[in-house]
Each structure stands twice: as structure tokens, then as C-alpha cells.
Structure 1
Amino acid sequence: MTGPEAVLGLDPSLTRAGVAAIVRQNPDSIARPGMITHVGYSLREGVPWWRRSRRIITEAREINAIVGEIHGATPIVRAVIEGPAWASNLPSKFDRDGLWWALFSILDAKQIPVTVVNPVTRGKFITGRAPNGMKPGEHKKLVLSESQSTWFDDQHRIKNHDQADALGLAHMGALDLGWRLPSDTRRRHVENIALVEWEREWRAS
């Protein structure tokens, strides 16, 4: 492509899913963050099944609208979504899995190639370290601060760690495609991009 194009990053979460895009105007231009936002809300424990279902439906619809807005203005050539946390045993895992597949299916239905990234790989790409051994919430703070440092000119737009996660995923996708970016490429970026099984065989059915 010679015109504008985008890479989408998506960090699925029931309470606050991060959505971010990195956009370049042409192959010679420097790519920069476009949309950076989040959607979702909390539910108290023990709510009925239909409330849980409606949260998934509401969030999927909102993200579908956001993706449609981005894709309509600037074709998304790749989406990068954080994969499920397989070791998680939280009560909400069943709901999060439902949301995850809904979002993946939305992207696939729009004929956007999707790459799935392990949560630990995404975290190490952004911060240089895994959350192992860190206090609860400490790694999330590090994700936010490192993201704001990496994207210095846009740091005021990155409001929370979920947005930072999504932008980090888009960053991974753009770097793998060889896009020019305003930030330095560090060793942790190269090493963790190499760990990703990038989707290169996707095709419309």
C-alpha cells in the first residue's frame, strides 16, 4: 500500500479494554499513535447471567464501532491482540474468554489479519521485565510509565496501563512490519518481537 494505513493494538478486559492504533501516511513517513482509548465497566460479584452477557455484548459493540471508525479512515493492515491468560483462575475467566473470542471474530469478519501475543511477551516488550516477583499493581505502573516515556510526545494521551498495553501491542506490530517510528528500537523490542508467531498466512475465506 502507498496510502495511509494502521496497525491496531487490542488489550481485552471486561472492566477496561485498551484500544490503540499506530498510523503512517505513506511508506516513507514516520508512524505515530492515532486512536488511544478504552471501554468497559465493572460488575459486582454474583450478578445474574444476563448482566454478564450484556456487558460482553456492550463492550464488543463499542469496540466494533471504534475499529470500524479507524478502519474506515485508515485501513488496518494488522491487528495485534493480547492472548488469554491461560494460568488465570479468576471467577471472571469464563466471561473474559467469551469477550476475547467476540473481539477476535469482529476483527476476522472485517478481514483484518490478527496476531495473538502472549501477555508476558507484551509486558517484557514494553518494560523489559516480567511481572514475576513484583508487588501487585507494580508492573502495571511500570507499563504505564515506560509507555509514556517511549511515546514522549503523546504521553499525555496515555491515561492508564490498559491503553499502554494496547499501544505496546500496536508498537510490536508496526516494528515487525518495518515501519519508521519516532522512538528508539531497543534490545527488549527486538528480542520479544522474535518470540511472536506473526500471522502471515491469513486469507479471506
Structure 2
Amino acid sequence: MTALFDLTEAPAAPAAAGPWPRLYRVAGLDISLTGTGVATLAGTTLITSSGHRKDTLIQRRTRLKGIVNEVLTAVGSVDLAVIEGPSHHSVGGSVWDRGGLWWLIVDALYARDIPVAVMPPTSRAKYATGNGGSRKDAVLDAAQKRYGAILPNDNEADALVLRAAGLDWLGQPLADVPAGHRAALAGCQWPDREQVTAR
């Protein structure tokens, strides 16, 4: 029988495969009183709610707490939550309640020891399209094309872009993003990286 190779010069055994790199769990949240978009590894979802201008304080509180609870359920256990920052030129709707909801969700995430990043609306648009002034329909179109996702509304598209930005910041982008788009990450408020990577 002929040996396939000289035993004195046998090839070295292949190196043992190292551990798989850790895959970070990131959630993206586009917070709204009427339709909050949430994106996680499981996909995107829309949390809807409705209210009336004449609602009592108790009714308004109950509504906000209900939204917070649904958001926390949708987010689950993650390493990082990326939320869209407030739009300072926003008009219409209940600005007071919307701001309150934003802070209730941020506080609830911190209570779960989930690090939070804030991405301004212009940075979200720039990361998605390359233009910080892009409208929501352009972000929706760009998100569907880049990530191959079927997104039923712009709230879920925004949430997906926020999640993608967080994963990119952690070195695990969902897809290749042009450098000009990726520059939007510099305009965000990120937590200490060790808070996320040490979890």
C-alpha cells in the first residue's frame, strides 16, 4: 500500500476552530405616541396607541405606561438599545406627552441595565440614505433595498435603521454601508463601549 504522504512529513492537523464571535443583540426604537417602531433580531414590529385631546391625566398616564410595557416586551433582553432622539422642530400632536413617553422608555431601559444610544433624526436619515435631510419615505425605500426587508411602514423602517447603526457601531454591520452614510455614526450619543461589550 502506498502512503499518501511521508509520515515524517505529515501535514499539521488543522488548527482547532476558535470560539464564534459574539453576536450582539441590538434593538432599534422609533418612539411615537401613535406608532412606535421596534426592531430586534426577531424582526420589526409596530406598537400602536390612540388617545384624545380631552383625555384625563389618569387616561394619559395609563396610555403611556401601556406603550412602555409593550415596548419593553418587544425589546426583550438586548445588549444595546438605539433610540431616535427628539425632533426639536416637531409640531403638532402632544409634544409634552411625546417627550414624557421618550423619557419613560429611556428610564425603563436603564432600569433593566440596558445601555442606551441616541441617534438624532438627521443622523438616522444620513445613515440610511447619505442625506440627513431625507424624508421618511426615502429612508423606508433605502432600508428595504439595503437590508432586503419588507417593511409595512416608515416607523419600522426607522427602527431597523437605528438597529443597523448600533450593530455597525459594534463592528457587526447588517450590510455594507458607504463611508458617507457611516459618517452619521459620529453624530450619535453612544454609551461607553465597555458597557455593551462587557455584558
Q: Same fold (TM over 0.5)?
A: yes
1:152-201 deviation per Cα after TM superposition (whole angstroms, max 9, x unaligned): 1xx22x211000111101111100111153x2221233210122232117
Verify: 1:162 aligned to 2:152, yes or no: no
CA 1:126–1:50: 2 relative to 1, 3 Å: same
Q: 1: distance between equivalents of 2:70 and 2:133?
A: 30
Deviation of 1:19 (Å) = 0.4
Which segments of 5 or more consecutive residues in structure 1 lack a partner in the other structure? 23-33, 133-138
Deviation of 1:52 (Å) = 2.0
The aligned amino acid for 2:69 is R
Deviation of 1:83 (Å) = 1.1
Pairs aligned (count)? 176
2:33 pairs, out of 14, 27, 37, with 14
Structure with the larger RCO, 1 or 2 (CA within 8 Å, 6+ apart):
1
1:62 pairs, out of 41, 61, 70, with 70
Q: 1: distance between equivalents of 2:22 and 2:185?
A: 25
Deviation of 1:91 (Å) = 4.3
The aligned amino acid for 2:154 is H
Q: TM-score, normalised by structure 2?
A: 0.80
1:44-68 deviation per Cα after TM superposition (whole angstroms, max 9, x unaligned): 3333333222211110111122223
| Higher-Rg member (1/2) | 2
CA contact (8 A) 1:60 1:102 kept: yes
1:197 pairs, out of 177, 189, 194, with 189
The aligned amino acid for 1:110 is R
**Root mean square deviation, CA, Å:** 2.1
Which segments of 5 or more consecutive residues in structure 2 lack a partner in the other structure? 1-19
1:99-153 deviation per Cα after TM superposition (whole angstroms, max 9, x unaligned): 1011101111111111111111111211222337xxxxxx12111111100111x
Q: Hey, what does 1:108 align to over in structure 2?
A: 110
Q: TM-score, normalised by structure 1?
A: 0.77
Q: Identity percentage over the alignment?
A: 34
1:28-55 deviation per Cα after TM superposition (whole angstroms, max 9, x unaligned): xxxxxx3310102232333333322221
Verify: 1:187 aligned to 2:179, yes or no: yes
Question: What pairs with 1:1-205 in structure 2 (closer than 5 Å)?
Answer: 2-22=21-41, 34-68=42-76, 71=77, 76-131=78-133, 139-152=135-148, 155-156=149-150, 158-181=151-174, 183-200=175-192
Q: 2: distance between equivalents of 1:109 and 1:91?
A: 28
